[in-house]
Amino acid sequence: MDPFRLGNYRSRYRRPRQPTRWNSASDVAAHDLDMSRKLERSGLSIRDARRTRGLIRARRISAVSQTRLLECRRGYNVNRVTCPEANVLKFFYSPGACSLTVHIALEEVGVPYEKEVVKTGEGTNSPAWKKINPKGYVPALLGVPGNIGGMDDLLTEANAILVYLGRKYPEARLLPPMPEGEARCMEWLGFLSGTVHGNSIAQIWRPERFVLSEKDYASVSAGGKASLLKRFDYIESLLADGRDWAVPDHYSVADTYLITIYRWGNRLELDMRKYAAWSNHSKRMLERPAVARVFEQEGISLE
Ligand SMILES: N[C@@H](CCC(=O)N[C@@H](CS)C(=O)NCC(=O)O)C(=O)O
């Protein structure tokens, strides 16, 4: 089969009716991956696939030039964009931390990315890391135009990264497509990251953020634990209505946060088995290949 004679191939990749817009090199990487998958599905012979790959490479070079031009116009650092490989997304995380949410989302999306461990504590507090991310924490994703006062193109805040990945790679369906569904997903993210993580869990693990005097730490932690238990009951009551995922009928980035917090419940030695619906949700999550891969890569378990 001659790939150049394939009507679909010609119209979709060789002479696209509408030129593809390249906003960043990660677009290019995602596009390449998409094309390779389509090629696999098309059942081309290796010889034909090789010929077609040559074409993909040629297109990629031209796409990178377009990316550089765009970045140049916008005033970004064009010198860093020398080849697509150099501009692949880079993910900074600490095993088992809230960066787990983003790690799962990245694996679900399936774009190529590099990763680097920045351990919470020694890593996140180091001057070298604070130069990159002045907020001094993970997760962070490099490769998203913009600046927060540290390294160029670094995106921080788990929720921002999750929504970015969801919108950037809509084919992964990590965000519900309708505004109502997306709003429900954001509702979950705000609650899980702001209230449960930023408030209750931080009080338990980081009481020094809430009070000055060490003698008050124990009481702040106890307050955090009391509010956490109430919030866990609330999460269970929502999941117990028979839904499979946080936003009913749609697996989304909110689910990646739910399993992260469920695991923290175990780390805090709470009896998580009493939350039957949430436990089942976590089991369903671990059945997803992307989630299982991330747990293995981070060397963590649910317990
Ligand atoms: N608001 C941030 C919070 C991030 C955060 O608290 N990260 C923790 C790990 S879960 C961290 O890096 N802590 C560093 C430290 O405590 O030294 C977000 O949602 O991304």
189 token code pair:
């993210």
Q: Is 198 helix (H, G, I), strand (E, B) or coil?
A: helix
| Domain count for the chain | 3
147 token code pair:
């600046």
Query: How far is the C-alpha of 290 from the C-alpha of 288, rounded, in Å?
Result: 6
Residue 98 alpha carbon to ligand 1 centre in Å: 7
Residues 235 and 259 in one domain: yes
Residue 137 alpha carbon to ligand 1 centre in Å: 5
Residue 139 alpha carbon to ligand 1 centre in Å: 7
Q: Is 89 helix (H, G, I), strand (E, B) or coil?
A: strand
Residues 225 and 166 in one domain: no
Model's pTM, two decimal places?
A: 0.75
Taking CA atoms only, the protein residue closest to ligand 1 atom 20 is 157
Q: Which of 47, 74, 101 is the last residue of a domain?
A: 74
Taking CA atoms only, the protein residue closest to ligand 1 atom 13 is 137
Ligand 1 pocket, CB under 6 A: 97-98, 120-121, 124-125, 137-139, 157-159, 193
**pLDDT exceeds 60 at position 87:** yes
How many other C-beta atoms can be found within 10 angstroms of the C-beta atom of residue 287?
9
Residue 140 alpha carbon to ligand 1 centre in Å: 10
Q: Which of 74, 93, 123 is the last residue of a domain?
A: 74
Which of 8-12, 202-206, 275-279 has the weakest average pLDDT?
8-12
Average pLDDT over residues 41-64: 57
Residues 150 and 180 in one domain: no
The dihedral through the CA atoms of 26, 27, 32, 36 has a sign that is positive
Domain of 27?
Answer: 3-74
CATH code (residue 229) = 1.20.1050.10
At 127 the pLDDT is: 97
> Confidence class of residue 56 from pLDDT cuts 50, 70 and 90?
low
User: Model confidence over 270-297: pLDDT tens digits?
Assistant: 999 999 999 999 999 999 999 999 999 9
User: Model confidence over 211-230: pLDDT tens digits?
Assistant: 999 999 999 999 999 999 99
Q: Is residue 274 part of a domain?
A: yes
